[in-house]
């Protein structure tokens, strides 16, 4: 029944959001307590923690044989993160980026997108492909840790302002991490079951539901983080959160999921992959030339996401 399916999706999304938030807070507290700089915590624990719902959902889907959902979740989330979230944020508040970190992370995000599109060209991600993606993620994180030791730019200052050592005890932070993981596991189960039920009830493929409903639901932490950062005029965090999340989605989530079990592309089409590549490629020259996202550029991005979503629903 549709009401029950919608309830599962809403409950799952709520648990995923709460789980991701608890994981980020607990993990950040532990990292800051043991001497990691706010910049390192922001670029690793926070950026990857906001992607934990996507990770939980894709692993759950992969284990359940729902390859369309596992891959479509990542593809749809990356499209929504750039075109939907950044586009909407720019409508509310133009984003001016001062940090050079964008000049480093944006090429990595674009290269990772190109690599995934190429790997999916044969219709599947093998365990070997997943191993390559995971190794590249480890190299990226290592590079960030090395570079962070000598960074003192706008992004570092913003993270120091945003992230401070918590007043909680270590036990409380560990409790938040454990609770966050439990909520993510439970939320992923409810969310995937509800999304698949909706797809079957309305007669559309799991791929379309993954590219729309699942992608938006698992991107709620990125949406909340970027909106808050935009209102606080912390553009580096708003954009860095999206770029870091997209890198982790491609290299980490698809890497881990395909190592667990090889993934077939299924009903995720070449158009979906090229849209993901196009919105990623479109963001790079904008940031490189003006280090700024204007309301006009945000409108174009957001309309592109609306148009893509309308196309998906019109072709079910």
CATH classification at residue 213: 1.20.1420.30
- pTM of the shown model: 0.86
Question: Which range of residues forms the domain containing residue 245?
Answer: 2-314
Beta-carbon contacts of 209 under 8 Å, excluding residues fewer than 6 positions away, are: 69, 72, 195, 196, 198, 199
Instruction: Count the domains in the chain.
Output: 1
User: Could you list the pLDDT tens digit for every one of the 316 residues in the chain?
Assistant: 788 888 888 888 888 888 877 877 787 777 777 666 666 666 677 777 777 888 888 888 888 888 988 999 999 999 999 999 988 988 888 877 766 666 778 899 999 999 999 999 999 999 999 999 999 999 998 887 777 666 656 556 666 666 666 667 778 888 888 888 888 888 888 888 888 888 778 778 888 888 988 888 888 777 877 777 777 777 667 777 788 889 999 999 999 999 999 999 988 999 999 999 999 998 887 776 666 778 888 899 999 999 999 999 887 6
């Amino acid at each position: 029944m549709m009401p029950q399916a919608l309830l599962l999706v809403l409950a799952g999304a709520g648990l995923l959001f709460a789980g991701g938030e608890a994981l980020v807070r607990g993990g950040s507290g532990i990292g800051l307590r043991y001497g990691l700089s706010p910049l390192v915590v922001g670029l690793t624990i926070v950026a990857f923690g906001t992607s934990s719902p996507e990770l939980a959902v894709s692993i759950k889907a992969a284990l359940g044989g729902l390859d369309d959902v596992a891959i479509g979740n990542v593809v749809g989330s990356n499209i929504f993160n750039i075109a939907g979230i950044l586009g909407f944020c720019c409508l509310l508040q133009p984003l001016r980026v001062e940090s050079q970190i964008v000049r480093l992370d944006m090429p990595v995000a674009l290269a990772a997108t190109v690599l995934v599109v190429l790997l999916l060209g044969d219709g599947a991600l093998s365990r070997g492909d997943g191993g390559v993606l995971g190794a590249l993620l480890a190299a990226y994180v290592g590079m960030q840790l090395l570079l962070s030791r000598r960074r003192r730019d706008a992004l570092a200052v913003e993270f120091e302002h945003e992230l401070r050592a918590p007043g909680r005890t270590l036990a409380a932070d560990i409790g938040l991490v454990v609770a966050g993981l439990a909520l993510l596991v439970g939320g992923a189960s409810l969310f995937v079951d509800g999304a698949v039920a909706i797809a079957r009830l309305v007669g559309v493929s799991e791929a379309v539901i993954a590219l729309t409903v699942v992608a938006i639901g698992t991107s709620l932490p990125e949406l909340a983080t970027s909106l808050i950062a935009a209102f606080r005029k912390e553009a580096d965090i708003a954009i860095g959160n999206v770029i870091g999340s997209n890198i982790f989605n491609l290299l980490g989530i698809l890497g881990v999921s395909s190592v667990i079990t090889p993934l077939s592309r299924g009903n995720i089409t070449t158009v979906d992959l090229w849209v993901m590549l196009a919105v990623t490629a479109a963001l790079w020259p904008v940031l490189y030339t003006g280090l700024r996202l204007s309301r006009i550029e945000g409108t174009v991005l957001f309309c592109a996401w609306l148009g893509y979503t309308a196309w998906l629903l019109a072709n079910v």
